[in-house]
Amino acid sequence: MGISFAGELKRKTVTPEAAAAQVKSGDWIDYGFGVGQPDLFDRALAERIRRLERVRLRATLSMRPRAVVEADPEARHLEMYSWYFSGLERALHDRGLCQHIPMNFGEAPDYYRRFCDVDVAILKTAPMDAHGFFNFGGAVTYHKALTEKARTVIVETDEAMPYVFGVENGVHLSAVDYVIDGGRGSMPELKNAPAGAIEQKIAGLIAAEIEDGACLQIGIGAMPNAVCELLVDSPVRDLGVHTEMFVDSLMKLYEAGKITGAHKTHDRFQMTYCFAAGSARLYEFLDRNPACFVGPVDYTNLPHRIMQNDRVVAICNAAQIDLSGQACAESAGIRQISGTGGQLQFMRGAYASRGGKAFLCLSSTYERNGRRESRIVARIAECNIVTTPRTDVMYVVTEYGIANLKGKSVPDRARALINLAHPDFRESLEREAREYRLLPRRFM
């Protein structure tokens, strides 16, 4: 006969208000990541935050507004920090209500175990299973390390959270201090903007580079997802998945029979990921699906693990790249847009993989204040953050073509990138390249 945890669960189950009462002035609290962030607790803490002083909150990739932040609009009682901004956190940052913590995503569990203080961790999970575990569902990421480090662990259960298979994917009741029974709520959904003509052109160039048996990493955004849409109708087959983020386009690719994982070294025949964000149907797809294997972010994102699969294809976005090849994907000057996330680690892991390919994709231009500007520039804009150093950039793709920078000199890189720029900017880029001595005079 199995062990019954019903009595212990009942003793630890409290109201959101009682759980929120555990937070004291000066505490570091942590809401965790993405769909794993609490809602009932958040609203309860919002009711009492003005009676507290200097509470510090980490909450990464928030997919719903955080009531506790909005309850303190002048940040007199609460300081919020995020490892990676969602659109909501970006807006809070613009208002001075959220600050960024730089990191390589794959190092996050180690950050918690070695460097981060956590007084209270509050995570949304699936309801307790028959073995006494609360499954982290669509937000495994660094949550196991977080529960190990926190002095007080609170879980808020939601029947809508998918139950996922993998490693370090839950916390046992014995390690939990308080439980909030959230009944059945709804998961926050993430909708990607549809791909336009430019995104479709870039996606087509990348899709043509993907071979049978390739192992995919697909990030957030219209362009990476457009690649999957094209692969659905392509002849390519036996693809694998080893990614940080599981998205709807991977589900569609799997349902089209394109993904088998037959050529993977790690988690063969399974799609590996560390968190999910997408539609309600995606969460239903992941629920108890043995075709999917979830692990913490140091399982998915560290380069030495990524490279052990052959023909890894990493597809990431950039906001700006200069003529030497260094790329910015996370800021617009002093304005933090997102974060480093897993980009640098997947660029390195994919390149090191046997037959691997790492793609940075970007439209050649963007609109600012009614003017068209080039994303390819002579020098990275002042205050922009370099996400991927020039030594780590492999393929760069715009709607005007694709160039591999590996092994190229600075002048050859400059020429290749000028050819990927919008034609209206190529002459000025070449002139600036001479001015900055990126192109030797004797070749002019």
Question: CB neighbours (10 Å) of residue 19?
Answer: 25
Beta bridge partners of 306: none
Pairing outcome for strands 365-368 and 312-317: unpaired
Residue 263: closest CA among 241, 294, 246, 278: 241
State the Cα–Cα distance between residues 361 and 378, nearest whole angstrom: 18
Pairing of strands 401-404, 395-398: antiparallel
At 103, list the tokens: 């990191």
Q: Beta-carbon neighbour count of residue 444 at 10 Å?
A: 8
Cβ count near 367 (within 10 Å) = 8
Rounded Cα–Cα distance for residues 199 and 363 (Å): 7
Under a CB-based contact definition with an 8 Å cutoff, are residues 237 and 212 in contact? yes
Q: Give the SS3 label for residue 314.
A: strand
Tokens read off for 350: 């994919």
| Closest by Cα among 151, 108, 423 to 296 | 108
**What is the distance between the alpha carbons of residues 383 and 95, in angstroms, rounded to a whole number?**
19
Q: Which among 186, 32, 60, 13 has a CA at the least distance from the CA of 123? A: 32
The answer to whether 78 and 42 are in contact (CB under 8 A) is no
Task: Report the distance separating Cα 144 and Cα 142, nearest Å.
Answer: 6
- Residues belonging to the active site: 244
Is-contact 406 351, C-beta < 8 A? yes
d(CA 54, CA 79): 7
Q: Give DSSP secondary structure letters for 64-101.
A: S--HHHHTSTT-SSEEEEESS--HHHHHHHHTTS-EE-
Handedness of CA 52, 53, 58, 63 (dihedral sign): positive
The amino acid at residue 252 is K
